[in-house]
């Protein structure tokens, strides 16, 4: 009788195959989307667009509770299947977003060799590779980390900016010019990593956007906005500022100190200003690039990040800026067919019921 039972079991498995396990919890049977209903309900999926330093960024769920636990398990407990499942979610959502139809290439945030060896995989690369399976876009592997950086979590905004400044480079063999590049990563918090990488892509003539599995949440009130300070991460309320009152006062104090010092010492060098005011050197250069100082250090030298020509403010010279602007305005409009706004909304609203 045993051979008959084995045969019957094999036939039953062939005709009615068991659902694979959930890609998020690994226990309960998954739905066709790759995850179980319990996990999908706990994830609180809500597709959202934000602007980060003028660039559009899209994300799936809040970086809190179950979503935060998933990200930690994916990054620090070898959660490869979690990365694959979240990449599937991102791909399905991105292909229904009309604003992302112009994307030419996916650019995963690179890991350092040390972290890659320690974790076994780059979660951003897995997200991008899975996205392209359901949303046909090539993945660019020509962006690398040039040095080891500290983990961003736990750092203040200023330290986050310095931590990733100059941390990325582009390898030969890929032309970013006039390409809409979608930066892919697991979570966006302060946006420092995204900003550093997006500026690099812009320097090479590309047009950056971002997509992330998770995002830090901003709770909106009636007249004010409750948020975490970008410098100290303390919760505060203000309708527009990104810094709490203490950090705002400190930032103003630092700027005023540099401004006064240069007025009193117009022939000072950048190093002298940094030493005597105790303000970070890179922060002083930020003041110069932003054109906030009426007197600048005598040895301050800024160069266009594209052609290398000397400039007085900003990052790109007027000629390169005009060249990029004329190229962008002359680009032919891509035919995208009938927009699928309703389809996107329905997909995201019903994603947990599939």
pLDDT, tens digit (0-9, with 9 covering 90-100), for 120-163: 899 999 999 999 999 999 999 999 887 665 565 555 555 555 55
Q: Which two tokens stand for residue 318?
A: 């007027």
Q: Which two tokens stand for residue 326?
A: 């004329």
Same domain as 163, residue 59: yes
Task: Give a yes or no: residue 265 inside a domain.
Answer: yes
State the alpha helices, DSSP H only, in 44-147: 65-76, 80-95, 113-119, 123-134
Beta-strand pair 207-215/180-188: parallel
Task: Give a yes or no: residue 65 inside a domain.
Answer: yes
For residue 26, the model assigns a pLDDT of: 85
| 70-76 average pLDDT score | 91
Task: Give a yes or no: residue 192 inside a domain.
Answer: yes
Same domain as 31, residue 166: no
Instruction: Look at residues 236, 274, 238, 281 and name the one whose alpha carbon lies nearest to residue 257.
Output: 274
Same domain as 123, residue 74: yes
Same domain as 266, residue 167: no
Same domain as 130, residue 112: yes
Task: Give a yes or no: residue 333 inside a domain.
Answer: no
Average pLDDT along the chain: 79
Instruction: Look at residues 351, 309, 273, 289 and name the one whose alpha carbon lies nearest to residue 96.
Output: 351
* Domain assignment of residue 113, given as a range: 45-217
Q: Which two tokens stand for residue 243?
A: 């810094």
Residues 57 and 128: their CA atoms lie apart, in Å, by: 15
| pLDDT at residue 11 tops 90 | no
| 274-285 average pLDDT score | 90
Same domain as 191, residue 169: yes
Same domain as 241, residue 155: no
Same domain as 138, residue 55: yes
| pLDDT at residue 342 tops 70 | no
| pLDDT at residue 223 tops 80 | no
How confident is residue 219, by pLDDT bands cut at 50, 70 and 90? very low
Number of domains in the chain: 3
| pLDDT at residue 171 tops 70 | yes
Same domain as 30, residue 17: yes
Residues 241 and 261: their CA atoms lie apart, in Å, by: 26
| 170-198 average pLDDT score | 90
Percent share of the chain, pLDDT over 90: 38
108 strand-pairing partners: 184
Task: Give a yes or no: residue 126 inside a domain.
Answer: yes
62 strand-pairing partners: 215
Q: Single out the residue in 217, 248, 282 at which a domain terminates.
A: 217
Measured in residues, the chain has a length of: 354
For helices 270-277 and 281-289, angle between their N-to-C axes, nearest 10 degrees: 120
Same domain as 173, residue 293: no
Task: Give a yes or no: residue 37 inside a domain.
Answer: yes
Same domain as 153, residue 36: no
First CA to last CA across the chain, in angstroms? 39
For residue 310, the model assigns a pLDDT of: 83
Task: Give a yes or no: residue 7 inside a domain.
Answer: no
For residue 34, the model assigns a pLDDT of: 87
Task: Give a yes or no: residue 335 inside a domain.
Answer: no
How confident is residue 225, by pLDDT bands cut at 50, 70 and 90? low
CATH at residue 61: 3.40.50
| pLDDT at residue 12 tops 90 | no
For residue 147, the model assigns a pLDDT of: 67
Q: Single out the residue in 150, 185, 217 at which a domain terminates.
A: 217
Residues 122 and 124: their CA atoms lie apart, in Å, by: 5
Q: What is the pLDDT of residues 84-128, one digit of tens each?
A: 999 999 999 999 999 999 999 999 999 888 888 888 899 999 999
For residue 299, the model assigns a pLDDT of: 87
């Amino acid at each position: 009788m045993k051979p008959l039972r084995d045969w019957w079991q094999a036939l039953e498995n062939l005709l009615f195959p068991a659902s694979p396990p959930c890609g998020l919890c690994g226990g309960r049977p998954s739905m066709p989307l790759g995850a179980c209903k319990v996990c999908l309900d706990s994830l609180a999926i809500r597709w959202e667009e934000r602007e980060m330093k003028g660039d559009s960024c899209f994300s799936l769920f809040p970086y809190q509770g179950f979503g935060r636990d998933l990200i930690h398990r994916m990054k620090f407990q070898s959660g490869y299947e979690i990365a694959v499942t979240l990449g599937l979610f991102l791909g399905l959502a991105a292909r229904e977003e009309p604003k992302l139809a112009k994307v030419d290439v996916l650019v995963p945030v690179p890991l350092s060799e040390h972290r890659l060896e320690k974790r076994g995989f780059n979660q951003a690369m897995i997200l991008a590779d899975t996205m392209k399976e359901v949303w046909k876009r090539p993945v660019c592997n020509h962006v690398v980390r040039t040095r080891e950086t500290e983990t961003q979590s736990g750092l203040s905004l200023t330290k986050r900016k310095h931590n990733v400044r100059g941390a990325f480079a582009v390898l030969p063999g890929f032309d970013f010019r006039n390409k809409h590049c979608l930066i892919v990563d697991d979570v966006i918090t302060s946006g420092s990593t995204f900003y550093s990488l997006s500026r690099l892509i812009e320097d090479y003539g590309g047009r950056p956007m971002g997509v992330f599995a998770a995002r830090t949440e901003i709770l909106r009130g009636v007249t004010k906005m409750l948020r975490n300070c970008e410098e100290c991460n303390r919760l505060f309320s203000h309708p527009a500022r990104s810094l709490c009152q203490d950090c705002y006062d400190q930032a103003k104090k630092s700027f005023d100190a540099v401004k006064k010092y240069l007025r009193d010492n117009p022939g000072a060098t950048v190093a002298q200003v940094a030493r005597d005011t105790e303000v970070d050197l890179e922060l002083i250069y930020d003041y110069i690039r932003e054109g906030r100082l009426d007197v600048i250090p005598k040895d301050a030298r800024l160069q266009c990040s594209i052609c290398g020509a000397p400039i007085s403010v900003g990052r790109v010279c007027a000629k390169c800026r005009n060249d990029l602007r004329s190229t962008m305005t002359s680009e032919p409009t891509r035919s995208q067919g009938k927009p699928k706004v309703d389809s996107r909304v329905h997909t995201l609203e019903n994603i947990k019921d599939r």
